[in-house]
Structure 1
Amino acid sequence: MKIAIDAMGGDFAPQAVVEGVQKFLSEDQETKIRLFGQQEAIEKLIEPSNQLEIINTTEVVDGNDEPVAAIRHKKDSSLVRAAQDVKEGNSDGYLSFGNTGAVLAAGIFVIGRIKNVERPALMPTLPTKVLNTFYNMLDVGANAESKVKYLVQFAQMGSIYASDLRGVKKPIVKLLNIGSEEHKGDELHQSVYQELKQLKEINFQGNIEPNEIMDAKADVIVTDGFTGNAVLKTMEGTMKTVLHLLKDSLMSGNLKTKMGALLVKGSLGNLAEQFNNSRFGGAVLLGVNAPVIKGHGNSQPETVYYAIKQVKEMIQGQTVQKFKNLYE
């Protein structure tokens, strides 16, 4: 098993990526890592290993690059070379923390879509308000516009992933909508609802409203990429704001308030851990010919470590092959 990793992608690359790889290799004796990037810089940060191969590249795709142009014109970048490595069969999975649009373009245009998959979807794993309970939401940004068949396939692939990677026996699938009733929403959502009702291979249980997303009522939430991206960013911003205001409120009060803050410090730590995204690795690009994981740009070594494990689990479980069996 081999995993191709873009070592130069992300805000803290290559150090964070290399440290995450090092942690993974310290625990895993089987998986081989093919690390793409500036060889001299990487070698200064990592210990030699017979499980590690460094492939030198001369270009870097940064956050300002237009995605498709970057794929076409920066062919010797770590992001593109790692994807090409998977396409050529040298590696079994792909991981990058770089430019989101470029990673999606590399997955779709270099690694390639699964035959008969209309559109790939980007899907993270997210926490709920119930301890150690999570859900997957897709699409969160790979497609600005969607058709009925796109969302139907998202539901199918998301259900397989939740079963394979999260061990949910019959994942509850719900459609994000403005109301719980069957007739709610625009024509697209009403049509998707009717299509999902007919599918026997998924456990579809109707609509879910945005205010219920974190209530642990669904294992897979299906939506279009524009809405999913807006919802995800709103949730991230709200969570940061609430935690910031809570901390300020506790620490700016009187002596009793500060003493109370010390008493609840442990509980607040548990709360923060529940919403610690590092444990979930990265977002998966579902619908392409190999496991493709896009990690957050500000990922630290712990997140890199979990993202590598995520790619490995998809390879071991033959998750992509299950998608292919469904559509080819």
Structure 2
Amino acid sequence: MKIAIDAMGGDNAPEAIVKGVLAARDAFSDMEFILYGDQAQIKPLVSNIERIEIQHTDEVIAGDDEPVRSVRRKKQASMVLAAQAVKDHHADAFFSCGNTGAVLACGIFVIGRIKGIERPGLMPTLPTVATDDGFNLIDAGANASSKPNHLYQYAKMGIYYAQDVRKIKQPRVGLLNNGTEYDKGDDLHKEAYQLLKDDPDINFIGNVEATNILEGPADVVVSDGFTGNAVLKTIEGTAGALMKVIKHSLLNSGMLSKLGAAMSKSAFAAVKDKFDTSKYGGAVLLGVAAPVVKSHGASDDRAVYYALTQIHDMVNKQTVQHVIDYFSKEKNS
């Protein structure tokens, strides 16, 4: 398999990108990589060129660029060229740590939607308290507004991912809502609830609330993009803020607290590891015609490696093809 890489996207590019690619190349003998970006910056970082190709370009989409306009105007940007390689079947998947909106635009407008998919959804894997399995949240921000059928399609796509990549035979699907009762929420959520409930192929457990989704009631949590993005950022922000508060309190409350902090070092390390989302890979744009994975802009080489491991699983398991096959049948039925 060949992966198209935006080597210039993200805060730590190209160093972190290249290191992550090298680690994935060494771990998987069936992976090849095309790195798009400034050759003068990339080439010195590549100690061994085996199964790595560098395609030079000076143009980059910056983090503050307007996403759709920049994708349309910056045709030679590293991100656009990487997406175009997938569109032209020169690569099997696309990866970037760059501008999120531009990655979504590349996925939707360059690579293209799967026929039958009305709105692709962005899906990260988030941690759960009880286990190390985590859960998928879709849509986490690709769409500001949604219709009931969009949420239904998110569920179907999330199920294929959970089965193929996370190896869950019958993923539990929950609908993110403001209460667990069946009649909770606005018209969007009430109608989406009924669509999910009426499909016998979906292991639908009903509504789930933001207060307990970290306890893992569902393997796939379905949401409209606006709410999903707010919940995602709340989880990330709360986890970071709590760690800062705990650290500050322990280190600034006298000698006994500092001693306690030293004795609890392993416990705090375990908590930090629990909320380390990089080990799950990046956020997947489901609903486009090839695997598209977006990692956080601040990703280090470890996060890049895990995202490429995730892509390796998606390509090997033909997750996107499973989605294409399903919606093709639905369209023709």
Q: Is the 8 A contact 1:125 1:283 kept in 2?
A: yes
2:114 matches 1:114: yes
In 2, distance between residues paired with 1:158 and 1:126? 13
CA distances 1:44-83 after superposition (whole Å, capped 9, x unpaired): 1112323100011120000111111111110001000000
1:1-328 residue pairs with structure 2 within 5 A? Answer: 1-328=1-328
Q: How far apart are residue 172 of structure 1 and its match?
A: 0.4
In 2, distance between residues paired with 1:57 and 1:198? 50
In 1, distance between residues paired with 2:297 and 2:67? 15
In 1, distance between residues paired with 2:57 and 2:48? 18
**SS in structure 1 opposite 2:102?**
helix
**SS in structure 2 opposite 1:232?**
helix
In 2, distance between residues paired with 1:200 and 1:248? 50
**SS in structure 2 opposite 1:44?**
helix
Q: Which letter does structure 1 place at the counterpart of 2:297?
A: G
Q: Which letter does structure 1 place at the counterpart of 2:142?
A: A
CA distances 1:253-287 after superposition (whole Å, capped 9, x unpaired): 12222111111110110110111122011000000
Moved more, 229-238 or 284-293: 229-238
TM-score by length of 2: 0.97
Q: Is the 8 A contact 1:30 1:51 kept in 2?
A: no
Q: How far apart are residue 26 of structure 1 and its match?
A: 2.0
In 2, distance between residues paired with 1:249 and 1:21? 39
Q: Is the 8 A contact 1:131 1:274 kept in 2?
A: no
Moved more, 128-137 or 3-12: 128-137
**SS in structure 1 opposite 2:293?**
strand
Identity among equivalent pairs (%): 50
Q: How far apart are residue 237 of structure 1 and its match?
A: 0.9
In 2, distance between residues paired with 1:31 and 1:254? 53
**SS in structure 2 opposite 1:61?**
coil
Name the structure 1 match of 2:331: none
Q: Is the 8 A contact 1:140 1:232 kept in 2?
A: yes
In 2, distance between residues paired with 1:281 and 1:109? 24
**SS in structure 1 opposite 2:143?**
coil
In 2, distance between residues paired with 1:325 and 1:27? 30
In 1, distance between residues paired with 2:98 and 2:18? 14
Q: Is the 8 A contact 1:138 1:154 kept in 2?
A: yes
In 2, distance between residues paired with 1:99 and 1:76? 16
In 2, distance between residues paired with 1:23 and 1:48? 11
Q: How far apart are residue 234 of structure 1 and its match?
A: 1.0
Q: How far apart are residue 130 of structure 1 and its match?
A: 1.4
| Alignment coverage as a number of residue pairs | 328
**SS in structure 1 opposite 2:45?**
coil
In 1, distance between residues paired with 2:306 and 2:209? 30
CA distances 1:103-131 after superposition (whole Å, capped 9, x unpaired): 00000000000001010000000001113
In 1, distance between residues paired with 2:264 and 2:87? 51
Where has structure 1 moved over 4 Å in runs of 4 or more? none
In 2, distance between residues paired with 1:141 and 1:90? 29
Q: Structure 1: 5+ residue runs without aligned partners?
A: none
Q: How far apart are residue 293 of structure 1 and its match?
A: 0.2
In 2, distance between residues paired with 1:67 and 1:168? 35
Q: Which letter does structure 2 place at the counterpart of 1:322?
A: H
- Cα-Cα RMSD: 0.8
Q: How far apart are residue 183 of structure 1 and its match?
A: 0.5
Q: Is the 8 A contact 1:94 1:293 kept in 2?
A: yes
**SS in structure 2 opposite 1:288?**
coil
Q: Which letter does structure 2 place at the counterpart of 1:149?
A: N
